[in-house]
Amino acid sequence: MTLSISFLLPLLSSLFIISTDALTSPSDVSALKAFKASVKPNSIPQWSCLASWDFTASDPCATPRRTHFTCGITCSSDSTRVTQLTLDPVGYTGRLTPLISGLTQLLTLDLADNNFYGSIPSSISSLVSLQTLTLRSNSFSGSLPESVTRLNSAESIDISRNSLTGSLPKSLSSLSNLRQLDLSYNKLTGSIPKLPQSLIDLALKANSLSGPISKESFTESTQLEVVELAENSFTGTLGAWFFNLQSIQQVDLANNSITGIEVIPPPKKLSGESDLVAVELGFNRIAGNAPASFAAYPRLTSLSLRYNMLHGAIPAEYERSKTLRRLFLDGNYLTGKAPARFVKPETEVMGSLGNNCLRGCPGKAKMCAPSQKPFSICKQAYGGKPKS
């Protein structure tokens, strides 16, 4: 039996209406309208995602999206709630409206590589489902609101390359699901508070953080693998506990004012299991001898202690290490004979022993560049008087 066209038309029409009906939650629509209204119109290119947000022509979650709301948002499977707000990096300029809090089912908020400015609204804590917060490379200023620490579902927070000031929230450890935190390239001050137990990757590079690095801050950080604290103003002695954190793999503390380091071989319970592979401690004020115990870490491949105030000989343990492939000790006051393994033409180790007080470090050897310090400077560094 053949169905008539007149019978099929109403059915097809009803299907079309269902697919394009306004289904988005009114609170989500209001939040999206406020969000777009807070962006300066002259910063919205005609071909951009925000330009396609026409609330008079279409519902944000309606499908198909051929001409309106073509990008920038993702909705739930039933087209009722906005779950992702991910803008294109075209230079949108404006403030992040506090009314963003209306998007209570938002899982991802990504405004990276634009020109949003002003403070981060404290109402952001209402985004109780948020898992990923990415505000990287904007112009946000003011302090990081304490309310951010109430984003209990957050797994990744990246607010690097902004102009945040003030100290880190004291309740940072309450972010019980946080795995990645990047606040690098801001103007943050103060010390590091207690960190979340779940944290894997910590990046606070290029701020103005100061004071000694406290063991209490890292007490519960049993999953921490990567620590980037370079280009700050940390001082004092870095304790041996730091290099023996349970899961630590990479450490970057270059360009600080650290004056000493304590290094002991990994505890017996970690021996053979330590995953420490890279340590960067260059451009500090570390005095004393180069710690031989670094060679006891079974997976350490990269070590930099360049441009510090180290004295004494290069530890023989470094030369005997079977894993070390990158070694920078240049810019210190190291003495004695340069280890043969590092100066031979076919050495498999890259790096530098230059600008020290070493003997037997020929200029033709790639590890010996730049040249050694003048004898007068070396003699003075060891308590002698430079020759006239």
CATH number at residue 123: 3.80.10.10
Question: In the predicted model, is pLDDT for residue 344 greater than 80?
Answer: yes
Question: In the predicted model, is pLDDT for residue 210 greater than 50?
Answer: yes
Residue carrying the six token digits 């209306």: 102
Q: Cα separation of 58 and 51, whole Å?
A: 13
Question: In the predicted model, is pLDDT for residue 361 greater than 60?
Answer: yes
352, 367 contact by CB (below 8 A): yes
Q: What is the pLDDT of residues 94-106, one digit of tens each?
A: 999 999 999 999 9
Q: What is the pLDDT of residue 3?
A: 47
Q: What average pLDDT is seen over the chain?
A: 91
* Cα distances (Å, whole numbers) of residue 244 to 93, 240, 261: 45, 7, 13
Which residue intervals of 124-259 are DSSP H helices?
240-243
Question: In the predicted model, is pLDDT for residue 8 greater than 50?
Answer: no
Q: Cα separation of 87 and 151, whole Å?
A: 21
Question: In the predicted model, is pLDDT for residue 16 greater than 80?
Answer: no
149, 124 contact by CB (below 8 A): no
152 in a structural domain: yes
Do strands 226-228 and 233-238 pair parallel, antiparallel, or not at all (unpaired)?
Answer: unpaired
51 in a structural domain: no
62 in a structural domain: no
Q: What tokens appear for 47 in the block?
A: 């071909």
DSSP 3-state percent helix, strand, coil across the chain (nearest 5):
20, 25, 55
8 in a structural domain: no
CA 199 from centroid of its chain's CA atoms: 12
DSSP reduced 3-state for 187 = strand
68 in a structural domain: no
Q: What is the pLDDT of residue 22?
A: 59
Q: What is the pLDDT of residues 113-163, one digit of tens each?
A: 999 999 999 999 999 999 999 999 999 999 999 999 999 999 999 999 999
299, 276 contact by CB (below 8 A): yes
DSSP reduced 3-state for 243 = helix
Give the residue from 187, 190, 161, 185 showing the smallest Cα distance to 172: 190
173, 193 contact by CB (below 8 A): yes
Q: Which domain holds residue 377?
A: 75-382
pTM of the model: 0.91
Higher pLDDT, 13 or 362: 362
184, 228 contact by CB (below 8 A): yes
300 in a structural domain: yes
Count: domains in the chain = 1
112 in a structural domain: yes
41 in a structural domain: no
Mean pLDDT of all residues in 227-250: 96
